[in-house]
Amino acid sequence: MSALDDNIAKLAPHLARIGETGFLNHIGGVAQPAVSGAWFETTSPTDDSVIAHVARGDAHDVDAAAQAAKAAFPAWRDTPATTRKRILHAIADGIEARAEEIALCECWDTGQALRYMSKAALRGAENFRFFADRAPSARDGQSLPSPSLMNITTRVPIGPVGIITPWNTPFMLSTWKIAPALAAGCTVVHKPAELSPWTARILMDIAEEAGLPPGVWNLVNGMGEEAGRALTEHPEIKAIAFVGDSSTGSAIMAQGAATLKRVHFELGGKNPIIVFDDADLEAALDATIFMIYSLNGERCTSSSRLLVQDTIADDFEVKLAARAKAITVGHPLDPATEVGPLIHEAHRAKVMASFETAVTEGAAIAAGGCRVGDTGQFVAPTLFTNATNDMVIAQKEIFGPVLTAIRFSTEDEALALANDTPYGLTGYIWTNDITRAMRFSDGLEAGMIWVNSANVRHLPTPFGGMKASGIGRDGGDWSFEFYMEQKHIGIGTGPAQIPRLGV
């Protein structure tokens, strides 16, 4: 039996079990269908087969979940931080115990290659452990004495929060948002993306088995314009954490305005990787390939624009095209696969529309530019060359395995090109001139910058973008800043010096 056949056999019982029950909402500790009785289907992009029926929640289900989160909030807020820490570590243990199941199900649900999703569960467990260990210090404050007052600060959890997660790497991103919310003492209503609901259900089950009290974490499936909008508008939900595209983030901000809802957005990107002629070119080539074609190119931090110095561009682009053509596109459960199918037929069509746009604009397709096979949503890793930064393919987020190469002559030109986009999530700089690297990093409009490196996650550091790429930061104490309110207490330290009126 091949490794692929073995993984398909391992997936089969999980598919059978889910096929019997479907994906239910989970509100106040009870798994339940939508109040309306409505369902929708979720399919695998590998062969478009139906995975399961999913409860189609709407405003009624969101209201029930919000009320459950509100009722559970006081007790969870007042639960000793050491207890919250223990429960979150137990969730991490449960994730690790079901790591293989999570990986297989996420691959089938999203089309992501197993070589990457095999690590998704472990990264999710790491998120829970990281914030679990910080729960006891989440409310720590400062002492800021003044001549007449002992001023102290503390933090308190903001209340029930809504978390809306995307269809790309949904398991890891769900843990990235939910773990700090729970550690801070907030309760949660989670709406996963309708295109990838499977591992959200697994995660919910793990949390309950770990001893999380009913109502602390609630799950509502559904469409963005139904369940998602109801969540962003609900008056009992005090904040919304959202990962997705920039236009949806803008809509959520408008929807939450009436209730003065706090928002945290991790949005799109058109991130540049800038390669100077003094760089380690083989390492830069590896990084360019990895940061656009891994995870099917469906990642907000992908390096989708290559800015390459004209003195090395000819050779660099030839090598890049050859490497792109050699990438293995195939079944997501095959360990040899490097790029799997895109999430859905509609998204594949959107990505492939950029091929015609590129040719119309005058760019060349040096690799890919086509569908792979007739079944499933497979697209060949694609490279556009002869591009300029004013083209649509250089400005619009494609969100697939598609790279646009643009040439530059000078450092100043490279910086202007890098910043000439509505987005500002990440940037990747390749040069052996450390002075240039520091100077360029200072001028680059991006929330996260890596020099001579791919995107390497370090949990204590801030994660987030500028401009249309988002609002706020995840990671370290920055996550607690979003899920908690600052409180100042001033205590008089001497005889009260209060002006007397009306005497």
CB atoms within 10 A of CB 144: 12
CB 321 within 8 A of CB 386: no
Note whether residue 499 is domain-resident. no
148 lies in the same domain as 222: yes
226 lies in the same domain as 374: no
70 lies in the same domain as 147: yes
Range of the domain at 162: 10-267+469-487
Q: Which amino acid is at 3?
A: A
Q: Give the pLDDT confidence of 33-59 residue by residue, as tens digits.
A: 999 999 999 999 999 999 999 999 999
Q: Does the annotation count 370 as an active-site position?
A: no
Q: Give the pLDDT confidence of 325-378 residue by residue, as tens digits.
A: 999 999 999 999 999 999 999 999 999 999 999 999 999 999 999 999 999 999
Q: Note the pLDDT of residue 494.
A: 81
Note whether residue 74 is domain-resident. yes
Q: Does the annotation count 300 as an active-site position?
A: yes
199 lies in the same domain as 64: yes
CB 56 within 8 A of CB 226: yes
CB atoms within 10 A of CB 299: 21
Does residue 426 surpass a pLDDT of 80?
yes
Measured CA to CA in angstroms, residue 267 lies from 39, 244, 424, 483 at distances of 28, 5, 10, 18
d(CA 28, CA 25): 10
Number of domains in the chain: 2
* Per annotation, catalytic residue among 266, 298, 317, 338: 266
DSSP classification of residue 303: -
CB 241 within 8 A of CB 163: yes
CB 449 within 8 A of CB 443: no
Q: Give the pLDDT confidence of 247-303 residue by residue, as tens digits.
A: 999 999 999 999 999 999 999 999 999 999 999 999 999 999 999 999 999 999 999
Note whether residue 75 is domain-resident. yes
279 lies in the same domain as 255: no
d(CA 250, CA 302): 21
CB 174 within 8 A of CB 163: yes
* Per annotation, catalytic residue among 300, 317, 338, 397: 300
Q: Note the pLDDT of residue 1.
A: 79
- We report the CATH number of the domain holding residue 311 as 3.40.309.10
Query: What share of the chain in percent tops pLDDT 70?
Result: 100
Query: Which three-class secondary structure string do you get for 164-226?
Result: ECCCCCHHHHHHHHHHHHHHHCCCEEEECCCCCCHHHHHHHHHHHHCCCCCCCEEECCCCHHH
Q: Note the pLDDT of residue 19.
A: 84
Residue count of the chain, please give it: 503
Note whether residue 458 is domain-resident. no
283 lies in the same domain as 247: no
128 lies in the same domain as 226: yes
| Residue whose tokens read 């890793």 | 381
293 lies in the same domain as 197: no
Note whether residue 308 is domain-resident. yes
340 lies in the same domain as 212: no
| Tokens read off for 376 | 């499933």
Q: Mind giving me the DSSP string for 124-178?
A: HHHHHHHHHHHGGGTT---B---SSEEEEEEEEE--SEEEE--SSSHHHHHHHHH
- We report the CATH number of the domain holding residue 98 as 3.40.605.10
193 lies in the same domain as 284: no
Note whether residue 358 is domain-resident. yes
Mention every residue, 6+ apart, whose C-beta is less than 8 A from residue 384: 358, 363, 364, 365, 366, 393, 402, 403, 404, 405
Note whether residue 496 is domain-resident. no
Instruction: Give the residue from 499, 500, 498, 494 showing the smallest Cα distance to 146.
Output: 494
172 lies in the same domain as 106: yes
Note whether residue 461 is domain-resident. no
244 lies in the same domain as 349: no
Q: Note the pLDDT of residue 98.
A: 97
Does residue 323 surpass a pLDDT of 90?
yes
d(CA 206, CA 253): 31
What does pTM read for this prediction? Answer: 0.96
